[in-house]
Structure 1
Amino acid sequence: MQTRKLYLLGGNTSQEEANVHFARAAGGQKAHLALLIVYREGWEEFLPRYTSHWITQGVNEKSISVIVPDETGNLDTEKAADIIQNATGIFIGGGHSETYHALYTQQPFKQLLKEKYRAGIPLAGNSAGALIMPETVLLSPHDTDHQLAWSGPGIGLLQNQLISVHFSQWQDEPNLIAGLIRHDIPIGYGIDEDACLYLENEQPTASFGNEQVKRIEKGTHS
């Protein structure tokens, strides 16, 4: 059985240690990587923040395929699904979390991503990309257009775990604790901007980066 590998980055998409680990796990020089992002003006200029460490590990730039909707929000789902099917590593980027949720927790992406993950293809997400990985998505008041906490269904790679990003920077611990109580979920992980939580088979295995990942259990905080 293939080991399931998941990388959850807390906000800095350019973290070297996490990206090097991910690129190697995806096949290094033989990797075919899919990068899923949302549209923003000048998005091409931001690509090196994702790809630079992959390329230093021998990933061919031509083997990195970007999935991005057009400026009206339309996405060629058939082409995108084909890219995902052929990927040896999948990275979901950061940006407007509500748009990421609207795009990539829906079909066909939800099922495709779950199938690839279960087959042992490494998945990674930064900020918004990390937030949508669990069964339940928890968005901070800092992260929604109406500045209120929000919850909804995610891709479903993690059960009974909540994720918070920009954790120290947004002082998001109260939101994470409230989410654990509201959804009756036992464990949450608060991931700082320059940190990455790495899980194998849904179990925390390592943390990368210069900042911290904090584990919070429901009922241990007043």
Structure 2
Amino acid sequence: MDQHLFLFGGSPPFGRSHGKQFASLCNQRDGHVAIFCLNRKGWQSYMSKYQHILEEEGVTDFRYYLLEETTLINKEKITGMIICGGDTLSYHHYIVTKRVGEEIKQLFQEGVPIAGFSAGALICPAYCMVSPSDYNGEQRMILNGLGILQGYIIAAHYTKWNEKQNLIAVMTETKTEKGLGLDDEASVYLKNGQIESLEGKNVHIFE
């Protein structure tokens, strides 16, 4: 099975090109797109930002998995997965360290596409870089990630958070050969771990 990963440097919506590509992959199966998010005030009204471009491309069925309350997911009915943005440490805790993360990883390996926005993108590699700007801390953190993307370190909000120094330092510390700095309105589509296309401004690639 081909594996499809869409990584976004900031908040939704999808860019038109990558939204169309993601929707096309989802529409090849019968079922729903799973949206994984935190249970925060007003989360319901925010979901339209993730959905509207996909809806224009024919995706009509969405199910919401509030991470604080989710222990198992119905894997047989999922056609695509969206991991929302927000507090990276919380997403790491509720996905990477829980059984849900293993289920997400299994679905991805079976060809179900994933779109990760900001925090959702950061947790995808083998190592998850948490910027001081992300949690109002003094030092960057390096945590184990989902591991669905090998050989890359991801930095979200790259220009806004001035992440170049952090990204290169974490690449060096983890002996990771490649880095992707994603600006807020930028995204990258990787197929089988290789970059297929870029969208928006700007994607910064380091090797």
Q: TM-score, normalised by structure 2?
A: 0.94
How many Å separate the matches in 2 of 1:15 and 1:87?
A: 19
The percentage of aligned residue pairs carrying the same residue is 29
CA RMSD of aligned residues (A): 1.6
The CA deviation at 1:42 is: 0.9
Q: 1:67 to 1:184 in 2, by over 3 A?
A: same
Match of 1:192 in 2: 183
Match of 2:53 in 1: 53
Q: Does 1:87 align with 2:78?
A: yes
1:18-167 matched pairs, under 5 angstroms: 18-27=18-27, 30=30, 32-60=32-60, 63-69=61-67, 74-78=68-72, 81-82=73-74, 84-167=75-158
How many Å separate the matches in 2 of 1:16 and 1:216?
A: 23
The CA deviation at 1:114 is: 1.6
Q: 1:169 to 1:67 in 2, by over 3 A?
A: same
Per-residue CA deviation, residues 80-115 of structure 1 (Å, 9 max, x unaligned), is x12x44201001000111100100112312221121
Specify which structure has the higher proportion of strand: 2
Report the number of matched residues: 206
Q: TM-score, normalised by structure 1?
A: 0.88
SS of residue in 2 equivalent to 1:117: helix
How many Å separate the matches in 1 of 2:145 and 2:152?
A: 12
The CA deviation at 1:15 is: 2.7
Q: 1:28 to 1:85 in 2, by over 3 A?
A: closer
Match of 1:14 in 2: 13
Per-residue CA deviation, residues 3-29 of structure 1 (Å, 9 max, x unaligned), is 111000110310332222211111179
Match of 1:205 in 2: 196
